[in-house]
A and B are shown apart, each in its own frame.
Chain A
Amino acid sequence: MKILKKIQTLLGVATLVLLAVGLWFVYNAPEDFQQGGAVRILYIHVPSAKMALLSYLFLTVASALYLWKRSETADILAEAATSVGAAFTAITLASGSIWGKPMWGTWWAWDARLTSMLVLLILFKGLMVLRNSMDDPVKGARATAILAIIGAVDLPIIHYSVVWWRTLHQPPSMAASGNAGVHISGPLLPPLLILSGAFMLMGLYMVTVKARQIEARRRLDALESARMHPDE
């Protein structure tokens, strides 16, 4: 945990710099010949979506570590990643919706990725509520870790089931070995890559701040209960 305190400022500054550079590139990037200016929304949308999934991955690893090693640090990081992931998922849904209105002509469609993302948001929320509704913090931590792993197994099934169900969202546009689908063109790529990096740093920064907050709160709770029950 001490290392988090040391890197927090550094991470924060690096995030700010990279965000500023990325946004400068976005501002100067050419407009898409079909999408016009609205394409700029995707520079926020795509990195947030990446971060939403990465946060879940991080959460799964931290949860597994907690169950395996019983390390409180892993549990604190898992709790931090849950709220950060929820935030990025919400940003992904909101920015996608704003982009969808002019491009697809609708705020929302029950498409594979949109549906999976919505389920992901509810899952993050469920994890937060589950932890908070347990009186015994250890039980809460264990139940949350198990649910996170179940969710990790279920998310691919959810994703493929909705893919079979309906698909409107275009295939990934940055993958090198894509099909003959949509591909992102040269000048639009640098801002996307820089912002992806910036969002990754921002995610790490948010997890750091949140984790330190959670640790402080747990220490306070421990002090409080020691004061209330001095003889235990």
Chain B
Amino acid sequence: MLKAIYRIAWKDVAGDLRRRATLSSMLFFAISVLIVFQAAFEPDRKEALRLLPGLLWATTLFTTLVGLGRVFQAEEEDGAFEGLLLASVPRGVIFFGKWLGNLLLTLLVEFLILPLTLVLFNVDAWSHVPAILGILTLGTLGLTGLGTLLAAMTRGARSRETLLALLLLPLTAPMLIAGVQAIAGVLLQNGAVEPWLKLLIIFDLVYLAMAPWAFGWLVEE
């Protein structure tokens, strides 16, 4: 089981690392979002520190959409998706494989984007980098879980990427609120981090428990 998950994930990640298609478009898209925020808000150092949690999560969320638009791209042609479904493992395992591939790419982009944001916005929060990365990772687990499911759901729909954004953004509201509050709590050192981490964990558990099941229903013929 674990091997099948790993194989499917590695197929996507290795393929992408060689072509650098998804990774580089996510990365450069994230940088463009940062430029937009800088131009729109022109924060000074103090404001940048206050804006940082929202900035990071908004950039992550938009960037995830770029990655999710391509989750099933490798399976688009020649009936490759049906081929994948024929694999002699439960459908949930196939879902976890696709999810893991997307998760790894998204995390990689987040880890590259965080130092870049701190540099570009002149924020001195280097001592909090591990905590921030931890919170970003925690939120990204559920975010990519829900996202991969919605990507499977909108496969074959017209104007798929717009639809994906319309469906994903409202459902991720709890993750966004909890994630922003948790990072703000870390930066301001006001101690209100733990309840938000719990909410993030609940969010992750709910989606990662529900998504494989829903994926099975979705691809059933």
A-chain residues with CB within 8 Å of residue B217 when the two chains form the complex: 67, 142, 146
Task: Decide if B163 touches A146 in the complex (CB within 8 Å).
Answer: no
Q: Is the CB of A133 within 8 A of B157?
A: yes
In whole angstroms, what is the CA distance A146 to B153 when docked? 9
Interface of chain B: mostly helix, strand, loop or mixed? helix
Q: What does the 1/0 interface line of A151-179 toward B look like (CB < 8 Å)?
A: 10110011011101100000000000000
In the assembled complex, A94 has its CB within 8 A of some CB on chain B:
no
What B residues does A139 contact at CB under 8 A? 156
Q: Which chain A residue shows the least CB distance to B167?
A: A126
Most chain A beta-carbon contacts within 10 A, residue among B146, B157, B160, B217: B157
Which among A133, A135, A157 is the interface contact of B174 at CB below 8 angstroms?
A157
Instruction: Say if the beta carbon of B195 comes within 8 Å of chain A.
Output: yes
A150 near B177 with CB under 8 A, answer: no
Check if B181 is an interface residue, CB within 8 A of chain A. Answer: yes
Task: List CB contacts (< 8 Å) of B167-184 with chain A.
Answer: 167, 169-171, 173-174, 177-178, 181
Are B173 and A150 in touch, CB under 8 angstroms? no
Total A residues in contact with B, Cβ cutoff 8 Å: 30
Residue tally, chain B, CB below 8 Å to A: 30
Task: Please tell me if the beta carbons of A150 and B174 are within 8 angstroms of each other in the complex.
Answer: no
Q: Is the CB of B218 within 8 A of A146?
A: yes
In the complex, the answer to whether B173 meets A162 with C-beta atoms within 8 Å is: yes
Q: Determine if A153 and B206 form an interchain contact, defined as CB atoms under 8 angstroms apart.
A: yes
The digit string for B129-161, where 1 denotes a CB below 8 A from any CB of A, is 000000000000000001001100110111110
Chain B residues contacting A161 (CB-CB under 8 Å) are 173-174, 177-178, 199
Q: Are B214 and A165 in contact (CB under 8 A)?
A: no
Decide: A165 and B156 in contact? CB cutoff 8 A: no
Identify the interface centre among B159, B171, B178, B210: most chain A CB within 10 Å of its CB: B171
Q: Is A147 an interface residue (CB 8 A)?
A: yes
Residues of B bordering A, CB below 8 Å? 146, 149-150, 153-154, 156-160, 163, 166-167, 169-171, 173-174, 177-178, 181, 195, 199, 202-203, 206, 210, 214, 217-218
Q: Which are the 3 A-B pairs with shortest beta-carbon distances?
A: A161-B174, A122-B170, A133-B157
Known: A143-B153, A158-B174; 8 extra A-B contacts, CB below 8 A, are A130-B163, A133-B157, A133-B160, A134-B157, A143-B157, A157-B174, A157-B199, A160-B174
